[in-house]
Chains A and B, each alone.
Chain A
Amino acid sequence: MEDSRIPALPRGILHFLKMNSPVHSFARLCFAVNILKPRSSLQIQKSVIFALVLREARARFGVRRMGAVWTLVEPICHLLIFSILFAIIRGRTVADVEYPVFVLVGMAPFLLYRNTALRLMDSLRENRSLFGYKQIKPLDTYVARVLVETCISATVYAILVFAFAWYGFDMSVANPLMWVATLALGLLFAFSLGMVLALITHALPSLKVVIRMAFFPLYFISGVLVPAAYLPQAMMPVLLLNPFLHIVELIRAEVLPHYTPVDGVSEGYVICITIVLLFIAMGSYRARRLHLVSTKNG
Protein backbone atom coordinates (compact mmCIF):
# COMPACT_ATOMS: atom_id res chain seq x y z
CA MET A 1 0.00 0.00 0.00
CA GLU A 2 2.60 2.54 1.09
CA ASP A 3 5.37 3.63 -1.19
CA SER A 4 8.57 3.48 0.84
CA ARG A 5 10.07 6.46 -0.89
CA ILE A 6 8.56 9.37 1.02
CA PRO A 7 8.88 8.53 4.69
CA ALA A 8 9.93 12.09 5.50
CA LEU A 9 6.56 13.56 4.62
CA PRO A 10 4.04 13.96 7.42
CA ARG A 11 1.70 11.15 6.48
CA GLY A 12 -1.07 12.17 8.82
CA ILE A 13 -1.44 15.61 7.35
CA LEU A 14 -0.92 14.59 3.77
CA HIS A 15 -3.35 11.75 3.99
CA PHE A 16 -6.10 12.19 1.49
CA LEU A 17 -6.00 15.75 0.44
CA LYS A 18 -9.03 16.29 -1.66
CA MET A 19 -7.84 18.09 -4.71
CA ASN A 20 -11.12 19.83 -5.34
CA SER A 21 -11.92 20.93 -1.84
CA PRO A 22 -11.06 24.17 -0.04
CA VAL A 23 -7.79 22.72 1.29
CA HIS A 24 -6.43 23.30 -2.18
CA SER A 25 -3.85 25.81 -1.07
CA PHE A 26 -2.33 23.25 1.21
CA ALA A 27 -2.37 20.68 -1.53
CA ARG A 28 -0.38 23.13 -3.58
CA LEU A 29 2.04 23.57 -0.73
CA CYS A 30 2.81 19.90 -0.34
CA PHE A 31 2.89 19.67 -4.09
CA ALA A 32 5.96 21.85 -4.00
CA VAL A 33 7.68 19.82 -1.29
CA ASN A 34 9.08 17.23 -3.65
CA ILE A 35 10.25 19.63 -6.24
CA LEU A 36 12.06 22.42 -4.49
CA LYS A 37 11.80 23.95 -1.09
CA PRO A 38 8.29 24.34 0.22
CA ARG A 39 6.64 27.68 -0.37
CA SER A 40 3.78 29.37 1.39
CA SER A 41 0.59 30.13 -0.51
CA LEU A 42 1.55 33.78 -0.62
CA GLN A 43 4.97 33.04 -2.09
CA ILE A 44 3.41 30.81 -4.71
CA GLN A 45 0.91 33.47 -5.64
CA LYS A 46 3.62 36.12 -5.81
CA SER A 47 5.82 34.08 -8.12
CA VAL A 48 2.84 33.10 -10.26
CA ILE A 49 1.77 36.72 -10.68
CA PHE A 50 5.34 37.75 -11.45
CA ALA A 51 5.63 35.03 -14.10
CA LEU A 52 2.25 35.98 -15.56
CA VAL A 53 3.11 39.68 -15.71
CA LEU A 54 6.26 38.94 -17.71
CA ARG A 55 4.38 36.58 -19.97
CA GLU A 56 1.51 39.00 -20.46
CA ALA A 57 3.88 41.86 -21.29
CA ARG A 58 5.72 39.63 -23.75
CA ALA A 59 2.47 38.67 -25.42
CA ARG A 60 1.39 42.32 -25.63
CA PHE A 61 4.67 43.53 -27.04
CA GLY A 62 4.80 40.75 -29.57
CA VAL A 63 7.91 39.26 -31.07
CA ARG A 64 8.91 42.04 -33.41
CA ARG A 65 11.57 44.48 -32.44
CA MET A 66 9.21 47.45 -32.62
CA GLY A 67 6.45 45.64 -30.72
CA ALA A 68 7.00 47.53 -27.49
CA VAL A 69 7.08 50.84 -29.34
CA TRP A 70 3.79 50.11 -31.10
CA THR A 71 2.11 49.14 -27.86
CA LEU A 72 2.89 52.64 -26.61
CA VAL A 73 2.43 54.55 -29.87
CA GLU A 74 -1.12 53.36 -30.43
CA PRO A 75 -2.68 54.89 -27.29
CA ILE A 76 -0.45 57.95 -27.62
CA CYS A 77 -1.85 58.57 -31.09
CA HIS A 78 -5.36 57.96 -29.82
CA LEU A 79 -4.98 60.53 -27.06
CA LEU A 80 -3.08 63.04 -29.19
CA ILE A 81 -5.53 62.96 -32.07
CA PHE A 82 -8.58 63.37 -29.85
CA SER A 83 -7.14 66.11 -27.68
CA ILE A 84 -5.73 68.14 -30.58
CA LEU A 85 -8.73 67.55 -32.83
CA PHE A 86 -11.14 68.80 -30.21
CA ALA A 87 -8.88 71.71 -29.39
CA ILE A 88 -9.06 72.77 -33.04
CA ILE A 89 -12.83 72.29 -33.28
CA ARG A 90 -13.70 74.00 -30.04
CA GLY A 91 -10.65 76.24 -30.00
CA ARG A 92 -10.99 77.51 -26.47
CA THR A 93 -10.10 76.78 -22.93
CA VAL A 94 -12.16 74.93 -20.37
CA ALA A 95 -11.97 75.84 -16.70
CA ASP A 96 -8.90 77.97 -17.35
CA VAL A 97 -6.87 75.16 -18.92
CA GLU A 98 -5.96 74.42 -22.51
CA TYR A 99 -8.31 71.96 -24.14
CA PRO A 100 -5.74 69.23 -24.90
CA VAL A 101 -4.71 69.17 -21.26
CA PHE A 102 -8.33 68.94 -20.20
CA VAL A 103 -9.01 65.98 -22.50
CA LEU A 104 -5.80 64.14 -21.64
CA VAL A 105 -6.39 64.35 -17.91
CA GLY A 106 -9.77 62.65 -18.15
CA MET A 107 -9.33 60.43 -21.15
CA ALA A 108 -6.14 58.60 -20.19
CA PRO A 109 -7.59 57.13 -16.97
CA PHE A 110 -10.91 56.45 -18.69
CA LEU A 111 -9.18 54.41 -21.39
CA LEU A 112 -7.22 52.52 -18.75
CA TYR A 113 -10.41 51.63 -16.90
CA ARG A 114 -12.27 50.63 -20.02
CA ASN A 115 -9.39 48.48 -21.28
CA THR A 116 -8.97 46.88 -17.88
CA ALA A 117 -12.62 45.88 -17.69
CA LEU A 118 -12.69 44.54 -21.25
CA ARG A 119 -9.38 42.71 -20.98
CA LEU A 120 -10.38 40.97 -17.78
CA MET A 121 -13.44 39.75 -19.63
CA ASP A 122 -11.24 37.97 -22.20
CA SER A 123 -8.67 36.81 -19.69
CA LEU A 124 -10.16 33.38 -19.03
CA ARG A 125 -10.34 32.35 -22.65
CA GLU A 126 -6.87 33.60 -23.46
CA ASN A 127 -5.23 31.95 -20.47
CA ARG A 128 -7.16 28.69 -20.55
CA SER A 129 -4.15 26.55 -21.37
CA LEU A 130 -2.31 27.83 -18.29
CA PHE A 131 -4.70 26.33 -15.77
CA GLY A 132 -3.04 22.97 -16.39
CA TYR A 133 -0.38 24.31 -14.03
CA LYS A 134 -2.23 23.96 -10.78
CA GLN A 135 -0.57 26.92 -9.10
CA ILE A 136 -2.10 29.33 -11.61
CA LYS A 137 -5.59 30.45 -10.71
CA PRO A 138 -7.90 32.72 -12.73
CA LEU A 139 -7.55 35.46 -10.11
CA ASP A 140 -3.79 35.55 -10.71
CA THR A 141 -4.34 36.11 -14.40
CA TYR A 142 -6.74 38.98 -13.61
CA VAL A 143 -4.24 40.66 -11.31
CA ALA A 144 -1.40 40.23 -13.80
CA ARG A 145 -3.52 41.76 -16.56
CA VAL A 146 -4.38 44.81 -14.48
CA LEU A 147 -0.73 45.31 -13.54
CA VAL A 148 0.46 45.15 -17.15
CA GLU A 149 -2.36 47.37 -18.36
CA THR A 150 -1.62 49.94 -15.65
CA CYS A 151 2.11 49.98 -16.39
CA ILE A 152 1.52 50.54 -20.10
CA SER A 153 -1.04 53.22 -19.38
CA ALA A 154 1.17 55.00 -16.86
CA THR A 155 4.09 55.01 -19.30
CA VAL A 156 1.94 56.44 -22.07
CA TYR A 157 0.55 59.09 -19.73
CA ALA A 158 4.01 60.05 -18.49
CA ILE A 159 5.33 60.43 -22.05
CA LEU A 160 2.39 62.63 -23.02
CA VAL A 161 2.65 64.76 -19.89
CA PHE A 162 6.33 65.42 -20.59
CA ALA A 163 5.58 66.15 -24.23
CA PHE A 164 2.82 68.60 -23.31
CA ALA A 165 4.92 70.28 -20.65
CA TRP A 166 7.77 70.61 -23.13
CA TYR A 167 5.36 72.20 -25.60
CA GLY A 168 4.43 74.73 -22.97
CA PHE A 169 1.25 73.56 -21.27
CA ASP A 170 0.97 73.71 -17.52
CA MET A 171 0.85 70.04 -16.48
CA SER A 172 1.02 70.41 -12.70
CA VAL A 173 -1.41 68.44 -10.55
CA ALA A 174 -3.35 70.47 -7.99
CA ASN A 175 -3.85 67.75 -5.35
CA PRO A 176 -1.36 64.99 -6.12
CA LEU A 177 -2.25 62.70 -3.21
CA MET A 178 -6.00 62.87 -3.76
CA TRP A 179 -5.35 62.42 -7.46
CA VAL A 180 -3.45 59.18 -6.91
CA ALA A 181 -6.11 57.98 -4.45
CA THR A 182 -8.90 58.70 -6.93
CA LEU A 183 -6.98 56.97 -9.74
CA ALA A 184 -6.51 53.93 -7.52
CA LEU A 185 -10.20 53.92 -6.60
CA GLY A 186 -11.09 54.04 -10.28
CA LEU A 187 -8.75 51.16 -10.99
CA LEU A 188 -10.28 49.10 -8.21
CA PHE A 189 -13.71 49.86 -9.64
CA ALA A 190 -12.59 48.81 -13.13
CA PHE A 191 -11.04 45.63 -11.73
CA SER A 192 -14.24 44.67 -9.91
CA LEU A 193 -16.33 45.50 -12.95
CA GLY A 194 -14.03 43.47 -15.20
CA MET A 195 -14.18 40.49 -12.85
CA VAL A 196 -17.98 40.61 -12.69
CA LEU A 197 -18.12 40.82 -16.48
CA ALA A 198 -15.68 37.92 -16.79
CA LEU A 199 -17.82 35.79 -14.49
CA ILE A 200 -21.03 36.74 -16.30
CA THR A 201 -19.61 36.06 -19.76
CA HIS A 202 -18.16 32.79 -18.57
CA ALA A 203 -21.69 31.65 -17.80
CA LEU A 204 -23.21 33.35 -20.86
CA PRO A 205 -20.53 33.73 -23.55
CA SER A 206 -22.93 35.30 -26.06
CA LEU A 207 -23.22 38.41 -23.88
CA LYS A 208 -19.67 39.45 -24.78
CA VAL A 209 -20.75 41.23 -27.95
CA VAL A 210 -23.49 43.12 -26.13
CA ILE A 211 -21.13 44.24 -23.37
CA ARG A 212 -18.54 45.41 -25.88
CA MET A 213 -21.19 47.47 -27.63
CA ALA A 214 -22.41 48.89 -24.33
CA PHE A 215 -18.91 50.24 -23.68
CA PHE A 216 -18.96 52.33 -26.84
CA PRO A 217 -21.49 55.03 -25.79
CA LEU A 218 -19.77 55.21 -22.39
CA TYR A 219 -17.24 57.42 -24.11
CA PHE A 220 -19.85 60.12 -24.62
CA ILE A 221 -22.03 59.79 -21.54
CA SER A 222 -19.05 59.78 -19.18
CA GLY A 223 -18.02 63.30 -20.08
CA VAL A 224 -14.62 62.25 -21.39
CA LEU A 225 -14.42 64.81 -24.19
CA VAL A 226 -16.43 67.65 -22.65
CA PRO A 227 -17.04 68.68 -19.05
CA ALA A 228 -20.00 66.85 -17.58
CA ALA A 229 -21.67 70.24 -17.12
CA TYR A 230 -22.09 70.43 -20.93
CA LEU A 231 -24.15 67.24 -20.99
CA PRO A 232 -27.94 67.69 -21.16
CA GLN A 233 -29.12 68.80 -17.74
CA ALA A 234 -32.47 67.06 -18.03
CA MET A 235 -30.71 63.73 -18.33
CA MET A 236 -28.40 64.38 -15.40
CA PRO A 237 -30.14 62.17 -12.83
CA VAL A 238 -29.79 59.23 -15.22
CA LEU A 239 -26.29 60.09 -16.34
CA LEU A 240 -25.16 60.34 -12.75
CA LEU A 241 -25.88 56.63 -12.29
CA ASN A 242 -22.77 55.97 -14.36
CA PRO A 243 -19.77 55.63 -12.02
CA PHE A 244 -17.35 56.41 -14.86
CA LEU A 245 -18.81 59.93 -15.02
CA HIS A 246 -18.12 60.42 -11.31
CA ILE A 247 -14.58 59.09 -11.58
CA VAL A 248 -13.65 61.19 -14.61
CA GLU A 249 -15.05 64.34 -13.00
CA LEU A 250 -13.32 63.65 -9.70
CA ILE A 251 -9.97 63.04 -11.37
CA ARG A 252 -10.25 66.32 -13.26
CA ALA A 253 -11.15 68.21 -10.12
CA GLU A 254 -7.98 66.91 -8.44
CA VAL A 255 -5.73 67.89 -11.34
CA LEU A 256 -7.20 71.20 -12.54
CA PRO A 257 -7.29 73.79 -9.76
CA HIS A 258 -10.31 75.77 -11.03
CA TYR A 259 -12.45 72.88 -12.22
CA THR A 260 -15.75 72.34 -10.46
CA PRO A 261 -17.35 68.96 -11.06
CA VAL A 262 -21.03 68.88 -11.92
CA ASP A 263 -23.52 68.77 -9.02
CA GLY A 264 -24.17 65.30 -7.67
CA VAL A 265 -20.70 63.90 -8.31
CA SER A 266 -19.48 62.23 -5.16
CA GLU A 267 -16.65 60.01 -4.08
CA GLY A 268 -19.03 58.18 -1.75
CA TYR A 269 -21.10 56.90 -4.65
CA VAL A 270 -18.06 55.45 -6.42
CA ILE A 271 -16.77 53.89 -3.21
CA CYS A 272 -20.15 52.29 -2.51
CA ILE A 273 -20.47 50.91 -6.04
CA THR A 274 -16.90 49.62 -5.93
CA ILE A 275 -17.41 47.84 -2.63
CA VAL A 276 -20.65 46.25 -3.80
CA LEU A 277 -19.13 45.17 -7.14
CA LEU A 278 -15.98 43.85 -5.47
CA PHE A 279 -18.08 41.87 -3.05
CA ILE A 280 -20.16 40.39 -5.85
CA ALA A 281 -17.02 39.66 -7.90
CA MET A 282 -15.17 37.94 -5.06
CA GLY A 283 -18.24 36.06 -3.87
CA SER A 284 -19.18 34.67 -7.25
CA TYR A 285 -15.52 33.99 -8.03
CA ARG A 286 -15.32 31.95 -4.86
CA ALA A 287 -18.47 30.06 -5.79
CA ARG A 288 -17.43 29.50 -9.41
CA ARG A 289 -13.66 29.14 -9.07
CA LEU A 290 -13.62 25.44 -9.84
CA HIS A 291 -15.77 25.86 -12.93
CA LEU A 292 -13.63 28.68 -14.24
CA VAL A 293 -10.59 26.46 -14.76
CA SER A 294 -12.63 23.67 -16.27
CA THR A 295 -11.80 23.28 -19.93
CA LYS A 296 -14.08 23.67 -22.90
CA ASN A 297 -16.68 25.63 -20.98
CA GLY A 298 -17.19 29.23 -22.00
Chain B
Amino acid sequence: MFELRNVTKSYLTPKGRRYVFRNLSLSIPPGKNIGLIGRNGAGKSTLMRLLGGADIPDSGSVATDRSISWPVGLTGGFQGSMTGRENIKFVCRVYGAMGDDMRDKIRYVQEFAEIGDWIDEPIKTYSSGMRSRVAFGLSMAFDFDYYLIDEVMSVGDAQFKRKCADVFQEKLQQSKVVLVTHNMNEVKKICDIVLLVRNGEIQVYEDVAEGIKAYNA
Protein backbone atom coordinates (compact mmCIF):
# COMPACT_ATOMS: atom_id res chain seq x y z
CA MET B 1 0.00 0.00 0.00
CA PHE B 2 1.01 3.59 -0.46
CA GLU B 3 0.12 6.55 1.68
CA LEU B 4 0.72 10.15 0.66
CA ARG B 5 0.37 12.79 3.33
CA ASN B 6 0.25 16.48 2.43
CA VAL B 7 2.57 16.00 -0.49
CA THR B 8 3.67 19.16 -2.28
CA LYS B 9 5.93 18.86 -5.28
CA SER B 10 7.23 21.67 -7.43
CA TYR B 11 9.96 22.16 -9.99
CA LEU B 12 12.11 25.20 -10.41
CA THR B 13 11.99 26.48 -13.96
CA PRO B 14 13.68 29.58 -15.36
CA LYS B 15 10.34 31.35 -15.09
CA GLY B 16 9.83 30.47 -11.47
CA ARG B 17 8.41 27.65 -9.44
CA ARG B 18 5.84 25.38 -11.02
CA TYR B 19 3.71 23.27 -8.76
CA VAL B 20 2.82 19.77 -9.85
CA PHE B 21 0.98 18.82 -6.66
CA ARG B 22 -0.14 20.88 -3.70
CA ASN B 23 -1.08 19.36 -0.34
CA LEU B 24 -1.99 16.05 -1.84
CA SER B 25 -3.17 13.33 0.51
CA LEU B 26 -4.36 9.93 -0.51
CA SER B 27 -3.90 6.29 0.24
CA ILE B 28 -3.82 3.45 -2.22
CA PRO B 29 -5.01 0.09 -0.92
CA PRO B 30 -2.52 -2.82 -1.05
CA GLY B 31 -2.55 -5.67 -3.52
CA LYS B 32 -3.77 -3.68 -6.51
CA ASN B 33 -2.25 -3.02 -9.89
CA ILE B 34 -2.21 0.72 -10.18
CA GLY B 35 -2.75 2.59 -13.42
CA LEU B 36 -1.73 6.23 -13.65
CA ILE B 37 -3.52 8.00 -16.46
CA GLY B 38 -3.82 11.60 -17.50
CA ARG B 39 -2.83 14.02 -20.21
CA ASN B 40 0.78 14.66 -21.18
CA GLY B 41 2.51 16.78 -18.56
CA ALA B 42 -0.19 16.23 -15.94
CA GLY B 43 2.33 14.78 -13.49
CA LYS B 44 1.94 11.01 -13.96
CA SER B 45 5.65 10.30 -14.15
CA THR B 46 6.34 12.62 -11.25
CA LEU B 47 3.75 10.83 -9.17
CA MET B 48 5.30 7.50 -10.13
CA ARG B 49 8.75 8.67 -9.13
CA LEU B 50 7.37 9.94 -5.84
CA LEU B 51 5.72 6.59 -5.16
CA GLY B 52 8.98 4.80 -5.90
CA GLY B 53 11.09 7.08 -3.74
CA ALA B 54 13.17 8.03 -6.78
CA ASP B 55 12.13 11.61 -6.20
CA ILE B 56 11.13 13.30 -2.99
CA PRO B 57 8.37 15.80 -2.29
CA ASP B 58 9.15 19.37 -1.22
CA SER B 59 7.08 18.75 1.87
CA GLY B 60 4.89 15.97 3.16
CA SER B 61 5.71 12.29 3.08
CA VAL B 62 5.23 9.18 1.01
CA ALA B 63 5.11 5.91 2.90
CA THR B 64 5.04 2.30 1.84
CA ASP B 65 5.98 -1.05 3.29
CA ARG B 66 6.82 -2.79 0.02
CA SER B 67 9.87 -3.10 -2.18
CA ILE B 68 9.61 -1.03 -5.30
CA SER B 69 11.58 -1.19 -8.52
CA TRP B 70 13.44 1.70 -10.04
CA PRO B 71 11.29 3.61 -12.54
CA VAL B 72 11.52 1.69 -15.79
CA GLY B 73 11.32 4.39 -18.39
CA LEU B 74 12.34 4.86 -21.96
CA THR B 75 15.90 6.03 -21.34
CA GLY B 76 16.34 4.88 -17.75
CA GLY B 77 19.78 5.46 -16.31
CA PHE B 78 21.74 3.90 -19.16
CA GLN B 79 25.18 5.22 -19.98
CA GLY B 80 25.19 5.58 -23.75
CA SER B 81 28.86 4.83 -24.33
CA MET B 82 28.73 1.63 -22.29
CA THR B 83 27.58 -1.59 -23.90
CA GLY B 84 24.29 -3.24 -23.02
CA ARG B 85 26.15 -5.87 -21.03
CA GLU B 86 28.07 -3.26 -19.03
CA ASN B 87 24.89 -1.38 -18.25
CA ILE B 88 23.21 -4.57 -17.07
CA LYS B 89 26.25 -5.41 -14.96
CA PHE B 90 26.13 -1.95 -13.43
CA VAL B 91 22.57 -2.43 -12.19
CA CYS B 92 23.42 -5.95 -11.00
CA ARG B 93 26.30 -4.59 -8.93
CA VAL B 94 24.14 -1.88 -7.43
CA TYR B 95 21.56 -4.47 -6.45
CA GLY B 96 24.18 -6.87 -5.15
CA ALA B 97 23.84 -9.59 -7.78
CA MET B 98 27.39 -10.84 -8.17
CA GLY B 99 28.98 -13.86 -9.82
CA ASP B 100 26.50 -16.49 -10.98
CA ASP B 101 23.54 -14.27 -10.12
CA MET B 102 24.93 -11.62 -12.44
CA ARG B 103 25.48 -14.10 -15.28
CA ASP B 104 21.91 -15.36 -14.90
CA LYS B 105 20.49 -11.85 -15.06
CA ILE B 106 22.52 -10.98 -18.13
CA ARG B 107 21.37 -14.13 -19.91
CA TYR B 108 17.78 -13.44 -18.91
CA VAL B 109 17.86 -9.88 -20.24
CA GLN B 110 19.61 -10.95 -23.42
CA GLU B 111 16.99 -13.58 -24.13
CA PHE B 112 14.07 -11.45 -23.07
CA ALA B 113 15.10 -8.41 -25.08
CA GLU B 114 16.13 -10.58 -28.06
CA ILE B 115 19.16 -8.44 -28.70
CA GLY B 116 21.57 -11.32 -29.39
CA ASP B 117 25.12 -10.10 -29.92
CA TRP B 118 23.97 -6.49 -29.87
CA ILE B 119 24.46 -6.83 -26.13
CA ASP B 120 28.13 -5.99 -26.65
CA GLU B 121 27.44 -2.82 -28.61
CA PRO B 122 27.19 0.60 -26.95
CA ILE B 123 23.67 1.44 -25.82
CA LYS B 124 23.66 4.65 -27.85
CA THR B 125 23.73 2.60 -31.05
CA TYR B 126 20.48 0.84 -30.06
CA SER B 127 17.14 1.74 -31.54
CA SER B 128 14.62 3.11 -29.05
CA GLY B 129 12.74 -0.18 -29.26
CA MET B 130 15.82 -2.19 -28.34
CA ARG B 131 16.66 0.17 -25.53
CA SER B 132 13.23 -0.08 -23.97
CA ARG B 133 13.25 -3.87 -24.36
CA VAL B 134 16.53 -3.99 -22.43
CA ALA B 135 15.18 -1.58 -19.79
CA PHE B 136 12.01 -3.60 -19.36
CA GLY B 137 13.80 -6.96 -19.35
CA LEU B 138 16.32 -5.73 -16.81
CA SER B 139 13.64 -4.74 -14.34
CA MET B 140 11.91 -8.09 -14.88
CA ALA B 141 15.16 -9.86 -14.00
CA PHE B 142 14.80 -8.65 -10.42
CA ASP B 143 11.96 -9.41 -8.03
CA PHE B 144 10.02 -6.52 -6.55
CA ASP B 145 6.64 -6.11 -4.93
CA TYR B 146 5.86 -3.22 -7.23
CA TYR B 147 7.22 -2.52 -10.69
CA LEU B 148 7.16 1.06 -11.87
CA ILE B 149 6.60 0.95 -15.63
CA ASP B 150 6.59 4.23 -17.52
CA GLU B 151 5.23 3.81 -21.05
CA VAL B 152 7.90 1.23 -21.85
CA MET B 153 5.47 -1.36 -23.10
CA SER B 154 3.79 0.94 -25.56
CA VAL B 155 6.82 1.33 -27.85
CA GLY B 156 7.50 -2.31 -28.73
CA ASP B 157 6.19 -4.16 -31.75
CA ALA B 158 3.24 -6.52 -31.52
CA GLN B 159 5.38 -9.56 -30.85
CA PHE B 160 7.27 -7.87 -28.02
CA LYS B 161 4.03 -6.63 -26.51
CA ARG B 162 2.75 -10.20 -26.46
CA LYS B 163 5.92 -11.28 -24.72
CA CYS B 164 5.60 -8.49 -22.17
CA ALA B 165 2.04 -9.56 -21.51
CA ASP B 166 3.17 -13.18 -20.96
CA VAL B 167 5.94 -12.24 -18.56
CA PHE B 168 3.58 -9.92 -16.80
CA GLN B 169 1.00 -12.64 -16.38
CA GLU B 170 3.63 -14.67 -14.59
CA LYS B 171 5.06 -11.80 -12.57
CA LEU B 172 1.67 -10.52 -11.56
CA GLN B 173 1.01 -13.74 -9.67
CA GLN B 174 3.33 -12.38 -7.01
CA SER B 175 4.00 -8.75 -7.79
CA LYS B 176 2.02 -5.65 -8.56
CA VAL B 177 2.62 -2.92 -11.04
CA VAL B 178 2.34 0.84 -11.19
CA LEU B 179 1.71 1.57 -14.83
CA VAL B 180 1.96 4.92 -16.58
CA THR B 181 0.39 4.65 -19.99
CA HIS B 182 -1.85 6.24 -22.56
CA ASN B 183 -3.02 2.86 -23.79
CA MET B 184 -6.43 2.25 -22.24
CA ASN B 185 -6.52 -1.38 -23.37
CA GLU B 186 -3.49 -2.07 -21.22
CA VAL B 187 -5.09 -0.31 -18.30
CA LYS B 188 -8.25 -2.37 -18.76
CA LYS B 189 -6.29 -5.60 -18.97
CA ILE B 190 -3.81 -5.12 -16.15
CA CYS B 191 -4.94 -2.51 -13.64
CA ASP B 192 -7.31 -2.95 -10.69
CA ILE B 193 -7.36 0.68 -9.66
CA VAL B 194 -6.94 3.84 -11.68
CA LEU B 195 -5.49 7.17 -10.59
CA LEU B 196 -6.51 9.97 -12.88
CA VAL B 197 -4.02 12.83 -12.65
CA ARG B 198 -5.50 16.14 -13.72
CA ASN B 199 -4.65 19.75 -12.86
CA GLY B 200 -2.59 18.79 -9.85
CA GLU B 201 -5.45 16.74 -8.47
CA ILE B 202 -5.70 12.99 -8.28
CA GLN B 203 -8.95 11.09 -8.49
CA VAL B 204 -8.90 7.49 -7.39
CA TYR B 205 -11.22 5.17 -9.28
CA GLU B 206 -11.64 1.69 -7.82
CA ASP B 207 -13.66 0.88 -10.91
CA VAL B 208 -11.30 0.90 -13.87
CA ALA B 209 -13.99 1.42 -16.51
CA GLU B 210 -15.26 4.48 -14.69
CA GLY B 211 -11.74 5.93 -14.53
CA ILE B 212 -11.23 5.45 -18.24
CA LYS B 213 -14.55 7.11 -18.90
CA ALA B 214 -13.51 10.09 -16.79
CA TYR B 215 -10.20 10.25 -18.67
CA ASN B 216 -11.92 10.27 -22.03
CA ALA B 217 -14.49 12.81 -20.93
Q: Knowing A133-B77, A134-B54 are in contact, say whether A47-B94 is a contact too (CB < 8 A).
A: yes
Report if B53 contacts A (CB, 8 A): yes
By DSSP majority rule, is chain B's interface helix, strand, loop, or mixed? loop
Bound complex: CA A47 to CA B57 (Å):
27
Please classify how large the interface on chain A is, using the bins under 10, 10 to 19, 20 to 34, 35 or more: 35 or more
User: Do the beta carbons of A35 and B142 come within 8 Å of each other?
Assistant: yes
User: Do the beta carbons of A132 and B77 come within 8 Å of each other?
Assistant: yes
Cβ < 8 Å to B, chain A residues 20-54? 20-21, 27, 30-37, 39, 43-44, 47-48, 50-51, 54
Nearest residue, chain B, Cβ from A28? B53
Report if B6 contacts A (CB, 8 A): no
- How many Cβ-Cβ contacts under 8 Å join chain A to chain B? 127
User: Do the beta carbons of A129 and B96 come within 8 Å of each other?
Assistant: no
Report which of B63, B64, B78, B95 forms a contact with A135, defined as CB distance below 8 A.
B95
Contact with A along B57-87 (1 / 0, CB 8 A): 1000111110110110101111101100010
User: Do the beta carbons of A296 and B12 come within 8 Å of each other?
Assistant: yes
Q: Give min CB distance, B108 to chain A, whole Å.
A: 14
Report if A177 contacts B (CB, 8 A): no
Nearest residue, chain A, Cβ from B148? A132
Which stretch in A11-19, A83-91, A187-195 binds the other chain? A11-19
Report which of B56, B90, B97 forms a contact with A54, defined as CB distance below 8 A.
B90
Binding site for A on B (CB under 8 A): 1, 3, 11-12, 29-31, 49, 52-57, 61-65, 67-68, 70-71, 73, 75-79, 81-82, 86, 89-91, 93-98, 101, 122, 142-145, 174
Nearest residue, chain A, Cβ from B59? A20
Q: Knowing A35-B144, A47-B94 are in contact, say whether A30-B77 is a contact too (CB < 8 A).
A: no
Measured between beta carbons, the chain A residues less than 8 angstroms from B57 are: 20
Report if A59 contacts B (CB, 8 A): yes
Shortest Cβ-Cβ A-B pairs, 4 listed: A51-B93, A19-B53, A132-B54, A290-B56
Which of A17, A35, A132, A295 gathers most chain B CB within 10 Å? A132
